[in-house]
Chain A
Amino acid sequence: MWRIYRTLFVAEFQQAAQYRIQSLLWLLFAVIRPVIFLAAWAAAANAQGGRIADYTVGDFAAYYVCLSLVSQLARSWDAYDFEFEVRQGKLAPKLLRPLHPLHYAVVANLVYKATTLPVLLPVLVLISLTFQAHFLTQPWHVALFVPSVLLAAALQFMFGWFVAAFAFWTTRIHAIMHLYDRLVFLFAGQIAPLSLLPGPLAALSYVLPFGYMLWAPTEILRGGLAIEQALIVMAVQTAWLVVSWIAFVVVWRLGLRQFSAVGA
C-alpha cells in the first residue's frame, strides 16, 4: 500500500505542476468569501461601538483568517469530479483497477493542499495585519487544531463522496451539489461564527454536520473554545465522520450495483 501511495503522489505532483495557475485561482475563492463577511462584521462591530457579543473587530478578523485557512485545508471538490467522470464514462475503467477510486482522490486532495499552502499563508498574514487580527490561541489550541482539522477534512471528504454517489442514479448532481454548498454557506459558520446566529439557527447548526466541517477547527485555532468545549466538539466531529462513512459505504454499494456506464 505504501508503494502504491508513493507512486500516486509522484504522479499527482507532476500533474499539479502542470496546472499551477488553476490551483491558484481556486485559492482566490477560499480567500474572497471569508474577507467579504469579515468586512461586513467589522463594519457592524464598529457601528456597535467596537464589539458584538464576545467578538471585537480583531476577533472577527482572527475568526475569518482561520476560517479561510481551514476551508482551504479541509475542502474537497470530489463530488464535482465524480459527476463528470460518471457522465463522461470515465469511471468504468477506474472501477476495473484493483484500487478503490477513493485512494486517487485522497492523494489528489493532499497534493493540492500541500502545493497551495505556501501561497495562502502570506495572503492570510496580510489580511491579519489589515484588520489587526487578535488571536487568543494557546499552544494546546494548536495541538488540538491538528486532529480537528484532519477530522474536518475527512468529514468533508466522506460527506462529499456520499453526495457524489447519488450520481449513480441521477448522472447529473449539480442541483444536489449546489444545495449542499448553500447548506454549508448557512450552517458551517461562513456567514457568522455559530454563537452569533439567532437562537433556532444556532441550535440547528450545532446539530447538523456542516459546522463540524469548518467552524469547529476554525474556532479551536482561533482559541475561542475552552478545553472541555473543544473536546466535545471533536467528539461530535468523530461521530459525524463515522455516520457519513457508513452512509457512503451503503450508498456506494447500492449505486455500484445498478450503475450502467454512460457512453461505454
Chain B
Amino acid sequence: MRYLRLLALFAQTELQFAMEYRANLVLDLFEEVIIVVSSLVAVLVLFSRTGVVNGWTEQEMIVLLGVYYVIQGAQAVIFEMSFERFMEHVRLGTLDFILIKPVNSQFVVSARHVQVPQLGQLLLGLVLVGAGVREAGTALGMLELVEFVVALVCGLSLVYCLLLVLSTLAFWFVRVENLLAIFWSFVDAGRFPVDIYPGWLRVTLSTVVPIGIAVTVPAQAITGRLDALGLLSILLGTVVVWVFASWFWRLGLRNYTGASA
C-alpha cells in the first residue's frame, strides 16, 4: 500500500516536470500515435495479401500488436527512464542518496522516474486489443480475461527482470548502455507472433530476450488459443526469473562501493 502511494507520488512529480515543456509533451503524444498507426498499417498491408499468417488471423494479429504496445508502453511508463537514471547514478556516485532512503532500493531504482506521457502508447495498445477482440467476434469469457491479465502481468515481469539484470551489471561494468541497446534492437521483433521466426531468433526471443513470449502468450490467452500448460509454464518461468533477478540485484548492491566516497 505504501509502495502504491509512493508510485503515485513519483508519477505526480514527474508529470509536473513534464508539464514544464508542454510543446514537447504534445509532440511526444503525437509521436506515439504515429508509431502505433504506422505499425497497424504494416499489419494491414501484410493481410491485404493473405488471410492468415502461421495460424494467426488478421484480427488476432491486431490483438497481438495491441499487446505489444501495452507491454512496451507499460515498460516505458515505469522502467525505461528509471533504469536509465539508475545507471547514471552509478556512474556519478549519486546512488548513495537513494540507498540511504528508508524504502526498498530495488523498488525506487525501478520505478522512480514514471513517464506519464508514455501512457498514450499503453492506451492505444488497449484500444487495438479491444478492437481486435471485437472484430474477431469470438465469445470472450471470464476465463480468457483472467488468463489474459495473468499472462500480461507475467510478460511485463519477464521484461522487467531482464531490464533489472542488465542494469544491475552496471555495478561491475559501470557502462552497460550497449547491452541495453542489444535488448532494444530485439524488442522490435515482438510485433509479430514468436512462432513465425526461424529457430535461432525464436529461441532468443523466448529465453534471453523474452519479449517474444511476453507478447505472444497474452495475445494467445485473450483469443482463446492458450492451453493450461502454456499459462502454467509462463507463470512458473516468471517466478523463477523474478527470484533470480532480485537475488542478482542484491548481489550487485553488495558489490557497490560508491564512486566518489
Contacts and interface: CB of A to CB of B under 8 A. Distances in A.
Interface of A: 21-22, 25, 28-29, 32-33, 35-37, 39-48, 52-53, 130-131, 172, 175, 178-179, 182, 185-186, 191-192, 196-198, 201
Please report whether the interface of chain B is mostly helix, strand, loop or mixed according to DSSP.
helix
A182 B33 CA distance: 11
Contacts of A46: 54
26 contacts: A22-B178, A32-B185, A32-B189, A35-B197, A36-B189, A36-B192, A36-B197, A37-B42, A40-B46, A40-B53, A40-B192, A40-B196, A41-B46, A43-B196, A44-B50, A45-B50, A47-B52, A131-B198, A172-B24, A182-B34, A182-B35, A182-B38, A186-B38, A192-B46, A198-B45, A201-B45
Contacts of A198: 45, 48
A52 B35 CA distance: 27
Contacts of B42: 37, 185-186, 191
Contact of B186 (A32, A178, A185, A197): A32
A186 B40 CA distance: 11
B45 A43 contact: no
Interface in B38-71: 38, 41-42, 45-46, 48-54
Contact of A29 (B49, B51, B185): B185
Contacts of A42: 196
Contacts of B191: 36
B3 to A, nearest CB: 32
B192 A48 contact: no
Interface residues of B, number: 32
Contacts of B192: 36, 39-40
Given A175-B27, A182-B38, A186-B38, A32 B50 contact: no
Nearest to A178: B31
A182 B41 CA distance: 11
A190 to B, nearest CB: 8
A160 B192 CA distance: 29
B182 A52 contact: no
B45 A196 contact: yes
Interface string B200-230: 0100000000000000000000000000000
Interface in B154-188: 178, 181-182, 185-186, 188
B107 interface: no
